[in-house]
Structure 1
Amino acid sequence: MKNASVVSFFLLLGLIYFSFYSLMPQTISSLTAPEVEFSTERALIPLKEISKAPHYVGTAENKRVREFLIQSLQDLGLSPETQQGYVLNERRGRMNQPVNIIAKIKGSEAGKALLIFSHYDSALTPSFGTSDAGSGVVAILESLRAYQASGKQPKNDIIILFTDAEEVGLVGAKLFVRSHPWAKNIGLALNFEARGSGGPSSMIVETNQGNKNLIKGFVEANPEFPVASSLLYSVYKMLPNDTDSTILREEGDIDGLFFAFIDDHFDYHTAGDNFERMDRNSLEHQGSYLMPLLHYFADADLEQVKSEEDYVYTNFPLLKMIAYPFSWVMPSTCVAILLFIGILFFGFRKGKLKWRSILKGSVPFLSAVFGALFVGLYGWSSLLKLYPHYQEILHGFTYNGHAYIALFVSLSLAIAWFMYAKFQKEITAANLFVSPLLIWLLINIFLAIYLKGAAYFILPFYCALCSFWLLLKQEKTNPILHWVLAIPAVVLFSPLIQTFPVGLGLKTIVISTVFTVLLFGLLLSFLSGYTYKKYLAQGFLVLALVFFGLAHHTSDFNEDRKKPNSLMYFQDLEAQKAYWLTYDTILDDWTSSYLGTEPKTAATVVTSAAKSKYNSGYTFAADAPAKAIPHYQSRLIRDTLVGDQRTVTFKLIPEKKANVLRLYVDQEITFTSLAFNGQAVEKNLSYTESNNRLLTFYVYEMDALEVSYTITQDLQPTFTLLEYSFDLMDNPWVEMKTRTNRMMPKPFVFNDALVIKQIITPHRNALE
């Protein structure tokens, strides 16, 4: 039996490895793959062209990529068209003029159309947009090529959409769903995205109704490596996440499935999102989804996609997907309660369970849970004090993030093994098992009521109940049998331990530490029988130290792990002063060469500081030489008075290329009407001192901005204009030093920009 315990331990390690290994392809398809099949190596050819340079909205590189994609679609025998127009997002106060690329494969029947889409613009930070979302674009191009090679004509129209300006407010998707006639007849949308540069691609559902028919169709399409769960679906619906799929669902009631890989999150929206760093297996995974889905939904009845019923679902090795109705959740939970109570009675009647032993046996489990909770809550904040430069990585997942996950998991397991080593011979496995089972039962009851998408957690619990019964039924049980019953828990829960801190940042590592101990408790039917618990505790403590050493060794920045930093040249035309500004909390040699060793606090010189996705404002400032830099000029177009209502129109005209304009009103005011380039503001017409930003305008080429408003005649508002051009590192007015190869522009903030601030006074002093 001792040998069986050793075997079960190594089988457990192998099962954990398999739970990750089975999530995605481990090899990629070659150039010699059959013409009717997806080939990652073929897809890499256009991807390299797309990601040669950053291509954010409104730039020459954005236009180059657009022309390349149009030609690529033409090479497939399609007739692509472009869609261009202004879109105003009132909720976020943003406006843009995106240029979408649209094509269609005509179907043989007149049903609903299938939309496959991605976005082709890159993030505003100098990101090359390889993964986000060049990978999605080329997955579509290669899948279309393979589909066309099959000679099939689909029953449904297949619409191909490459949206622009996704990175600045999902604007291209808004333009398509609001203005394009094809959007009115779409039955299902498949969207391909990325939020990192590697890892498995997960499927998320977008629907205003139930997911039943979407999940049924996904299962019937039979992708080879499905990674999907209703837990992620339920959590996603509760979070303020926005993707192009969200826009189609909210504004067009278009159901969708979107697929995104999120690992290597440290590359997201950075210069690290490039051709060399993207995981080829992740692209293979996207292709392994799209090919079967394209063939299936091109011929499916898309009129039947919508449903009022929701399904619980999860991926599972070999079975691929497990799915069942929400209506099963409460009955299955009630049955689990009855079974747990019944097995308890059976154990007490046989004399194998004793209240005193159960209570004593709960001590190591609860101690381990609270120990893991403490480690998770305070461990990461302590590491930030030890390594303060991690704060420069705004999205919270460091280059050595996986080593830290392994460190915290190992430390949690060391705590658990140490606690149970104290009860090596005092309490039987059955009595030790009661407390973890009770906690898991309570978790499942909570999920059944409040988070039904995670109700598949009941499946490993049923297996654990079987193990519990075997412990009570048999005098001696084989650990291998309990290992078999532990398979659902290990393969379903092990990847989740990594997923949460990868997707949400290392600040959520407490989820991983507590979940590790909870999973440990679910496996106690055979783990508690190990006689070498003390050595396992010591071993995992040593392993935690090894991972800490590895994380420390890779904690600094170098050519492969570049330090994100920021610098802006800010010129105030009214004050006739200029400043260097940064968002960084810790200055490096490059930023210090401009800001000095004793920079000012930025708030003392700049009041209209841009905020970022992660609420990062300017931190430090230093005086800079004022330069005569061309900027937008204001021209009054009309100023009329009708009754007591004054209507003013002025135009901001560029003297040089700019990327973003931000317009603020300098007093508390309520407009009677307000419009930008003819796009009327319908709701947000009142502004206060703390909420005074009228618009963020992402400039297309050399676009002008026309502002028209109506107010009561006694008001004479002035406006502040901030003009951003992302050419600080390559401009003729301010001489710049290049960053070292250990540095890169900081993401999620306006960066490497010339910023010109000016006051706009459009009204006349007196009406003629």
Structure 2
Amino acid sequence: MWVLIGIAALAFCGPIAPVEAEDRALPGRARLEADVFRLASPEFEGRSGDGARAAGDFLIDRLRGLGLEPAFDGRFDQEFAAGDLRGRNIAALLPGSDPDRSEVVILSAHYDHLGIRGGRLFPGADDNATAVAMVLEVARRLAGQAEPPTRGILFVFFDLEERGLLGSQHFVREPPLPRDRIGLFMTADMLGRSLAGVGGDSLFIMGTEHAPGLRPWIFEAAEGLPLSVGVVGADLLAIDRSDYGPFRQRSIPFLFFSTGESPAYHTPDDLPETIDYGKLSAATALIERVVRRACSADELPGWTPDREPWIEEAVAIREVLAMLLEHEEELEIPALQKSMMSGMVERIGGWVEEGSLTPPQRMSMLRVAQVVLFTVL
């Protein structure tokens, strides 16, 4: 799911406006690393049960220390129940300076994980301490600037994502502001490794199929960063795999960022010492730049119900399939799937040469990609 940034910029952006030098400074790698190690430590018990409660208190202390406003009627937390489960969302607001721009941008990550199972700690460093650290760092950088953003930002940490997106479902049912004021929802899940452990510097971004106007912002934000950015449709995953789901279902424009599932996903081996902190820092920088753009834009891109195919998605999927085929022995790709992947790489090459992608072509491409996701990876 890589996109050649230069091609995409020409296709969607035209000349790229220069980004301010202040925005180009990479976020603090040391702070990101310290937060991932802390969140993945035994202190927070894999962020489940009492450990999740302690992690929530830690997040509240950090948000309060940044001088942010509590989001829930004077509170930083939103308690909720789902059957026998009890959860707690955490959120804080950085108000905007322009009352005429009433929409709010949400930047979020889920902070829960699998806990302790069979006496073994599931630390959840990549899933999802990396994204929590990203949100904390972006909040720190934006709250510390001399001038407030033009449009307000809500920083949110969801609970019980691992139990079926329960925290984000509750939040979108009972938001702390009118739902129609949510102009853009952004969330991230796993930012510190790579797809199947062989994806290199890839960062995948979903959601622009319903808000194509966001693509130029992404490609501009990626300029100069050591990332291969792949902008693809969320329907590639067939089902909603993270907290963008409840917002997507309500036609709220969204972006979902991830470096993909690695072999350590949902295992006790998801350890903080094996995270690629350089990559996490670069992903944090990209996301921060998109947030800044959204907060300063005269208008936010609205929801588009129809998904028009875009050729850069085909380029991205072709690159991923080719990359996986290069590691076929390591990944033990079965012969049938290998044949499907090779054939699709060839077909996509023809579509790219033609410079267009039809809806039936896109659907056939997605079917092969989904088979690969659910059988090879």
- Shared topology, TM-score over 0.5? yes
Cα distance in 1 for residues equivalent to 2:361 and 2:278: 32
The counterpart of 2:358, out of the listed 420, 445, 448, is 448
Q: Deviations over 1:617-656 (max 9, x none)?
A: xxxxxxxxxxxxxxxxxxxxxxxxxxxxxxxxxxxxxxxx
Paired residues of 1:113 and 1:302 also in contact (CA < 8 A): no
Q: CA RMSD in A?
A: 4.0
Paired residues of 2:192 and 2:276 also in contact (CA < 8 A): no
Instruction: Say which SS state the counterpart of residue 266 (structure 1) adopts.
Output: coil
Listed as ranges, the matches of 1:325-336 within 5 Å are none
| Change in 2 beyond 3 A, CA 1:130/1:439 | closer
Paired residues of 1:105 and 1:158 also in contact (CA < 8 A): yes
- What residue number does 1:299 align with? 296
Shift of 1:304: 3.6
| Change in 2 beyond 3 A, CA 1:79/1:314 | same
Cα distance in 2 for residues equivalent to 1:505 and 1:155: 46
Listed as ranges, the matches of 1:489-500 within 5 Å are none
Paired residues of 1:40 and 1:280 also in contact (CA < 8 A): yes
- What residue number does 1:404 align with? 330
Q: Identify which of structures 1 and 2 has the higher relative contact order when contacts are C-alpha pairs closer than 8 Å and 6+ apart.
A: 2
Return the letter of the residue paired with 1:215.
R
% identical aligned pairs: 20
| Change in 2 beyond 3 A, CA 1:42/1:246 | same
Greater per-residue helix proportion: 2
Cα distance in 2 for residues equivalent to 1:173 and 1:158: 17
Instruction: Say which SS state the counterpart of residue 70 (structure 1) adopts.
Output: helix
- What residue number does 1:215 align with? 215
Cα distance in 2 for residues equivalent to 1:438 and 1:192: 28
- What residue number does 2:248 align with? 249
Listed as ranges, the matches of 1:249-648 within 5 Å are 249-250=248-249, 252-263=250-261, 265-307=262-304, 310=308, 312=310, 314=312, 403-405=329-331, 440=350, 448-452=358-362, 503-506=373-376
- What residue number does 1:201 align with? 203
Shift of 1:188: 0.4
Q: Deviations over 1:345-381 (max 9, x none)?
A: xxxxxxxxxxxxxxxxxxxxxxxxxxxxxxx9xxxxx
- What residue number does 1:620 align with? none
Q: Which runs of 4+ in 1 moved over 6 A?
A: 33-36, 406-409, 436-439, 441-446
Return the letter of the residue paired with 2:251.
D
| Change in 2 beyond 3 A, CA 1:449/1:187 | closer
- What residue number does 1:568 align with? none
Instruction: Say which SS state the counterpart of residue 86 (structure 1) adopts.
Output: strand
Cα distance in 2 for residues equivalent to 1:316 and 1:150: 39
| Change in 2 beyond 3 A, CA 1:77/1:196 | closer
- What residue number does 1:43 align with? 32
Paired residues of 1:234 and 1:451 also in contact (CA < 8 A): no
Cα distance in 1 for residues equivalent to 2:161 and 2:96: 28
Shift of 1:39: 1.7
Cα distance in 1 for residues equivalent to 2:144 and 2:352: 54
What are structure 1's unaligned runs of at least 5 residues?
Answer: 1-18, 20-32, 89-94, 321-375, 377-400, 417-435, 456-495, 509-768
Return the letter of the residue paired with 1:133.
N
**Higher Rg:** 1
Cα distance in 1 for residues equivalent to 2:105 and 2:23: 25
TM-score, normalised via structure 1 length: 0.37
- What residue number does 1:582 align with? none
The counterpart of 1:116, out of the listed 104, 107, 110, is 107
Shift of 1:290: 1.3
| Change in 2 beyond 3 A, CA 1:244/1:275 | same
Shift of 1:306: 2.5
Paired residues of 2:309 and 2:357 also in contact (CA < 8 A): no
Return the letter of the residue paired with 1:246.
G
Alignment partner of 1:78 is 2:68: yes
- What residue number does 1:189 align with? 185
The counterpart of 2:231, out of the listed 203, 219, 229, is 229
Return the letter of the residue paired with 2:247.
L
Cα distance in 2 for residues equivalent to 1:153 and 1:445: 42
Paired residues of 1:221 and 1:293 also in contact (CA < 8 A): yes
Instruction: Say which SS state the counterpart of residue 227 (structure 1) adopts.
Output: strand
What are structure 2's unaligned runs of at least 5 residues?
Answer: 5-21, 71-75, 195-199, 317-324
Instruction: Say which SS state the counterpart of residue 187 (structure 2) adopts.
Output: strand
Return the letter of the residue paired with 1:62.
A
Listed as ranges, the matches of 1:735-750 within 5 Å are none
Shift of 1:112: 0.7
Paired residues of 1:215 and 1:311 also in contact (CA < 8 A): no
Cα distance in 2 for residues equivalent to 1:228 and 1:449: 19
Alignment partner of 1:127 is 2:122: yes
Shift of 1:139: 0.8
